[in-house]
Amino acid sequence: MSSDSLIDLRSDTVTRPTEAMRAVMAKAPVGDMQYGDDPSLNALEARVAELLGKEAALWLPSGTMANQVALRVLTHPGDDVLVGTEAHSVWHEAGGSAANAGVQFTEIGSDGVFTAADVREHVKPANSPVLPIPGTTLVQVENTHNRHGGTVWEQAELDAIGETARALSLAYYLDGARLWNAAVASGSSPARIAAPFDMVAVAFSKGLGAPAGSVLTGPRVLIEQAVRHRRMLGGAMRQVGMLAAACDYGLSHHYERLAVDHEHAQLIASKLSTCPSIRLAPSPTNIVVFELQDTDVSAMELVIGARAQSVLINALGPRKLRLLTHLDVNRAQCLRAAEVLLQLLA
Ligand SMILES: Cc1ncc(COP(=O)(O)O)c(C=O)c1O
């Protein structure tokens, strides 16, 4: 089976750089990033800081490292972090948050979102001999939310949580790996979504189609600390201008078309919704998450059955599955994928 004949919906990270993106990468001016000499990288960081309305920005090789560096900057070992259920940091970062930042997570709310009241209810006070010292120091949001189906947060809730965090002297961080999708789906601007947060990370290796790269933004004083943590975690690189050029290209050429990925995900969801064995989470962006019900078929059996027909999806649990639409799948392939899944469950 050649990779070209596969309909790969395991993630939006599977996209390969387009010919046009590769051409831009090949010609990108480069220099040593750690001496501040890479013009392509410097331009990307300045562009993203401005786009998100933050003072400064720092490129990192991955979204996971962006989250890890943010935790190192915003917390101390032993701190408690409030986070929505099934956050990427809790599920998919190989325990890095405990190992690298030494924090504990408290999951709050439901379906990946929570309210300012949830924050007030779960915040742990400082200076207790039995609670984490100095208690809760950070509130972390994931927008869109991966494991809950690409959920887009309400801006009013993000703002209200920001006010509460400030009132309680908590830092406020956005894992915005798919902030672009949230902005396109809500018709909002990246800066508006980012406004209430102290620090925001965005990714380029997902819907925007770059081979690697995330950017962490925030006040200059915090970004200066992030430079050191990036180095400590081994993420300080050299002539990354070629990757920065790919990120820049993705932002210029693949941003608006995220709406197409959203349409494709909604198309798949609408087809799957006809199957009584499937319970779908809402799919407002490019992620379709569903659970199997009233069927003996397990998530893994569905994954294997689909793979045999060249459709790749992921199991998130014994009965929970996820698929993502992206640049490298078209409408006909999305329809075909839905048809294969429906046949397997018929
Ligand atoms: C919400 C979220 N945050 C962070 C990441 C990590 O990104 P990376 O795979 O670049 O480490 C992902 C990856 O899918 C993600 O979905």
Q: How confident is the model at residue 96 (pLDDT cuts 50, 70, 90)?
A: very high
User: What mean pLDDT comes out for the span 277-306?
Assistant: 96
Q: Is 62 in the pocket of ligand 1 (CB under 6 A)?
A: yes
Q: Is 314 in the pocket of ligand 1 (CB under 6 A)?
A: no
* Residue-wise pLDDT tens digits, 51-66: 999 999 999 999 999 9
Q: Which residue has the tokens 């917390």?
A: 75
DSSP string, 52-79: TT-SEEEEES-HHHHHHHHHHHH--TT-
Q: How confident is the model at residue 125 (pLDDT cuts 50, 70, 90)?
A: confident
Residue extent(s) of CATH 3.90.1150.10 domains in the chain: 257-345
Is domain 19-253 in CATH 3.90.25.10, yes or no? Answer: no
| pLDDT at residue 80, rounded to an integer | 95
Q: If you take atom 4 of ligand 1, which residue's CA is the nearest one?
A: 63
| pLDDT at residue 244, rounded to an integer | 98
Query: What is the 295 CA–ligand 1 centroid distance (Å)?
Result: 31
Rounded to whole angstroms, how far apart are CA atoms 338 and 268? Answer: 6
Rounded to whole angstroms, how far apart are CA atoms 237 and 248? Answer: 18
* Residue-wise pLDDT tens digits, 293-337: 999 999 999 999 999 999 999 999 999 999 999 999 999 999 999
Q: Which residue has the tokens 């649990």?
A: 317
Q: Extract the tokens encoding 152.
A: 């887009």
| pLDDT at residue 296, rounded to an integer | 93
What residues contact residue 53 under an 8 Å CB cut-off, 6+ apart? 191, 194, 195
Q: Is 64 in the pocket of ligand 1 (CB under 6 A)?
A: yes
Rounded to whole angstroms, how far apart are CA atoms 136 and 122? Answer: 9
Q: How confident is the model at residue 5 (pLDDT cuts 50, 70, 90)?
A: confident
- Exposed/middle/buried for residue 60 (C-beta within 10 Å: 0-12, 13-18, 19+): buried
| pLDDT at residue 177, rounded to an integer | 98
% the chain with pLDDT above 70? 97
Q: Is 136 in the pocket of ligand 1 (CB under 6 A)?
A: no
Q: Which residue has the tokens 């969801």?
A: 269
Q: Which residue has the tokens 């078209």?
A: 330
| pLDDT at residue 130, rounded to an integer | 65
Residue extent(s) of CATH 3.40.640.10 domains in the chain: 19-253
Q: Is-contact 149 281, C-beta < 8 A?
A: yes
Rounded to whole angstroms, how far apart are CA atoms 316 and 308? Answer: 19
Q: Is 147 in the pocket of ligand 1 (CB under 6 A)?
A: no
Q: What are phi and psi of 139, to 5 degrees?
A: -115, 130
CATH level 3 topology of 257-345: Aspartate Aminotransferase, domain 1 (3.90.1150)
Q: Is 12 in the pocket of ligand 1 (CB under 6 A)?
A: no
Taking the model in full, what pTM does it have?
0.96
Rounded to whole angstroms, how far apart are CA atoms 325 and 267? Answer: 10
Q: Indicate if the pLDDT at residue 12 is higher than 90.
A: yes
Query: What is the 177 CA–ligand 1 centroid distance (Å)?
Result: 6
| pLDDT at residue 187, rounded to an integer | 98
Q: Indicate if the pLDDT at residue 127 is higher than 80.
A: no
Query: What is the 275 CA–ligand 1 centroid distance (Å)?
Result: 30
Nearest to 63 by CA among 208, 171, 172, 228: 208
* Choice from 60, 64, 233 to test ligand 1 binding pocket (greatest atom count within 8 A of CB): 64
% the chain with pLDDT above 90? 95
Atom of ligand 1 nearest to the CA of 212: 10
Rounded to whole angstroms, how far apart are CA atoms 81 and 79? Answer: 7
What residues contact residue 324 under an 8 Å CB cut-off, 6+ apart? 9, 10, 11, 12, 265, 286, 287, 288
Rounded to whole angstroms, how far apart are CA atoms 23 and 255? Answer: 19
* Residue-wise pLDDT tens digits, 25-48: 999 999 999 999 999 999 999 999
* Choice from 10, 59, 92 to test ligand 1 binding pocket (greatest atom count within 8 A of CB): 92
End-to-end CA distance of the chain: 25
Nearest to 174 by CA among 201, 213, 137: 201
* Residue-wise pLDDT tens digits, 183-212: 999 999 999 999 999 999 999 999 999 999
Rounded to whole angstroms, how far apart are CA atoms 68 and 98? Answer: 10
DSSP string, 202-224: EESSSTT--SS-EEEEE-HHHHH
Q: Is-contact 90 258, C-beta < 8 A?
A: no
Q: If you take atom 5 of ligand 1, which residue's CA is the nearest one?
A: 63
Atom of ligand 1 nearest to the CA of 12: 14
Mean model confidence pLDDT for the chain: 96
Q: If you take atom 9 of ligand 1, which residue's CA is the nearest one?
A: 63
Q: Is 203 in the pocket of ligand 1 (CB under 6 A)?
A: yes
